[in-house]
Amino acid sequence: MYRYRLYGSWLPGLVLIVLGAIFLAENYFGTTLRNWWALFILIPAVGALASGYAMWRDGDRDGAVGPIVGGLAFVGLTAVFLFDLPLGQLWPVFLIIAGVGLLVSRRGSSWG
Per-residue pLDDT tens for 22-78? Answer: 788 778 877 777 788 888 888 888 888 888 888 888 988 778 888 888 888 898 888
Long-range (24+ apart) CB contacts under 8 A made by 17-20 are none
Q: What is the pLDDT of residue 111?
A: 45
- The answer, yes or no, to whether residue 105 has pLDDT greater than 80, is no
Q: Is 44 left (phi over 0), alpha (psi -120 to 50) or beta?
A: alpha
Q: What are the Cα distances from residue 101, in Å, to 6, 70, 93, 104?
A: 29, 9, 12, 5
Q: What is the pLDDT of residues 83-103, one digit of tens each?
A: 888 888 888 888 888 888 778
According to the model, what pLDDT value does residue 9 have? 65
Q: Shortest CA distance to 51 belongs to which of 65, 33, 38, 41?
A: 65
